[in-house]
Structures are given as structure tokens and as C-alpha cells.
Structure 1
Amino acid sequence: MVRSDARENRARILAVAREAFVADGNISMNQIAGLAGVGAGTLYRNFPTRDALVLAVYQDEIERITGTAPELLAEMPPLEALRDWTIELVSAMRKKHGLGDALSGTALQAITEQSYGPVITALTKLLDAGKADGTIREDADPGDFLQLTGALWRAASSPEDRAPRMLALILDGLRTRG
């Protein structure tokens, strides 16, 4: 069993690293330890390499996002839940691209492989809920949706974020026509 202080240290390191890597992809592991208020030994015990830390940051974010799909479906209609969930995913993907300086090629490949399955599973739940209530087309495919939304996190965020408009077009294409 992991001690509560060890869990708190790990969570603090992940939170600090998430922000630090986005702000400066070249930040050192020792700087992250300092910002998190832990010693280098604690950092390296939890994350033996820079790639291990980057992967953990990203995996933590994916788990958080994919875990929200059932909650969103409980709170709102499927199309609204899909919209809100996709906005969160886009935000995470933009951060991932912001982590670019911190990622090695191997880490980038590992992130893609680790996140694809959970993201597709969450998307399947959201799309299936819409198919069940008749608001989403029966031929809507989670892989197709994910590929289409890939353009959203690449959409220029300045001077204007085009992602919400683009997402509205994608969602409109998913609607059943009656």
C-alpha cells in the first residue's frame, strides 16, 4: 500500500510537471522537483526518466478526460456531452503539442499508443448514447470522429480559436435527420 504522503508527492509532481512542461519544454527534472517541493530522490523514485514523467503527466490527463464521459452523459443529452467532452480533449491535445520540446520520439509514440484505446472507448460510450436516443447517426464511428477532431487541436488559437465553430460543423454532421 502506498503511503498517503507518497501519493500526495506524486500528485504534486504531476501537477507541477504538467504546467512546467507546457511553459518550458526544456525545464530540468531538478527544477521540477524544486517547484513541487520534493527532493530529487523523490522525483526519480517516482519517475526514473524524463520520458517516464512526461508519459505519466499525459496518461494522468487522458485518464481524467476519459473518466468524465459517464458523468457528462448523466448530466446532459449525448450531443451536448460529446461537445463538452471533445472540448476537454482538444485542450489536452493542445497541451500535448505544447509538451513537444519535452517529448522524445519514443515518448510521443508511447503516448499515442497508450491513449488511443481509452479515448476510443470513451467516444464509443458517447456516440452509443446518442445512437440509443436517436440524436446521433447509426453510422457514426469513434475512429472517424477522432480523426476529424484532430484538426481541432491544430486550429490556430489566435487571433481567433476556430475549434468551437469547426466542432459545431462536425457535430452537425453526426445529427440524425428526421
Structure 2
Amino acid sequence: MPAPSGRPIRADARANEDKLLTAAAAAFARDGAAATLKQIARDAGVGIGTLYRRFPTREQLVDATYRYETARLAAQAADLLGELPADRALRAWMSRVLDHLATKYGMADTLKTLLQNDEQLSSQTREQLTGAVEELRHAGVTQGVVRGDVPSSDILMALAGITLIAGTAHQRAQAERLLDLLMDGITRPDR
């Protein structure tokens, strides 16, 4: 992401930004809306001025954190495929979606407004997550462990439904059981 001026970001500034976004995601997941910018800067190991130079408003920090975390989540599909068979990689990725939601709930009010007002952000999120599911699904079909007749969009919609009805931290066990049911529906019975 370029600096607000449009100029490229120096390597040290990029490292600070990554630290800030990682700390912000953790703080929003841990403290919800009560997460303070001062604590986020402290957790990132930078001064509050560094945070405000890069993210002058809380809304800009929420937006950047959401984009950063969504991109990281989507990129994890390839990492998981390098470590696990495709069906297990898909299931592990789905659990990471639940982890991702913990961050979203901490930014819920601001994020809702951002997503309603920025169709490009909503579209970009759908594209990234659909791409990750398609990568995992395609690998599973190729390996013969995932049904070929279930489109990625259906998998993503079912996953979204699970997160909608059982996406809070106290519902985690139920959400995991529902993910197992989803996997039973999309994996080949002879796997």
C-alpha cells in the first residue's frame, strides 16, 4: 500500500506498518471496540506519532487492518496446500476464517460502515476469499478428495452462513462442528 502521498513506502516504514497492522488486528480481536490506538502503537513497538502519520484516523486504521488481514487470510491457502493434503488444507483454512472473524468483531461498527460505503472493498474481499477457496477446491478436486460439482462460490456462501450464525468466540466449538459438516458435504465419500 503506498503512502497517502502516493509515493512508495521505505522498507523501515513498511516494517512499521506491518507491525502496526498486526498489533491492531490482535488488539481488535482481544479488546474489541475498546482497543486504544495508544495501546496498538505500544504493542507494535512504535510511537503513537508513527501510528498517526500512517493512519491519521481510527477509521483508516480499521480499513487498513481489514485489508491486511483479508489478504493474509487469502494467501494462507497456498501455504496450507504446501503443508497438507488439499481436503485438510481447506478445513484448516476454514478454521482460520473463524480466527479472522475475531478481528472483524472488534472493528464491527466501523467496518460495517466502510463495507457499506466502499463497494470496491466489498468486491475485493469477495474476490480474494473466493480465489483462496477456489485454489483449495481445485487442489482437492485434482487430488480426488473434493467433489468437483461443488462450486467455490457455494463453499464460500456456506462458510459465510456458518460464520453468521456461529461466528462469535463463545460459539467456536459449534462453528467447528458445522465446518466438519460442511466438509462432509464437499469431500468425496471415498476419500
Match of residue 65, structure 2, among 54, 57, 66: 57
Q: Relative to 1, partners in 2 of residues 1:157 and 1:82: Cα closer, same or farther, differing over 3 Å?
A: same
Q: Which runs of 5+ in 1 are unaligned?
A: none
Deviation string for 1:56-101 (max 9, x for gaps)? 1122112212112122222221111100111111210232123214
Q: TM-score, normalised by structure 1?
A: 0.84
Percent identical across equivalent pairs?
34
Match of residue 19, structure 1, among 18, 22, 26: 26
After the TM superposition, which residues 1-40 of structure 1 pair with which residues of structure 2 at under 5 Å, given as runs?
A: 2-22=9-29, 23-40=31-48
- Equivalent in the alignment of 2:130: 120
1:169 equivalent to 2:190? Answer no
1:93 equivalent to 2:101? Answer yes
| Cα distance in 1, alignment partners of residues 155 and 49 from structure 2 | 43
Q: Is the 8 A contact 2:26 2:103 kept in 1?
A: no
Q: Is the 8 A contact 1:26 1:102 kept in 2?
A: no
Q: Is the 8 A contact 1:51 1:104 kept in 2?
A: no
- Alignment partner of 1:136: what SS? coil
After superposition, the CA RMSD in angstroms is 2.5
Q: Relative to 1, partners in 2 of residues 1:14 and 1:108: Cα closer, same or farther, differing over 3 Å?
A: farther
Match of residue 56, structure 2, among 48, 59, 62: 48
Q: Relative to 1, partners in 2 of residues 1:109 and 1:83: Cα closer, same or farther, differing over 3 Å?
A: farther
Q: Relative to 1, partners in 2 of residues 1:82 and 1:160: Cα closer, same or farther, differing over 3 Å?
A: closer
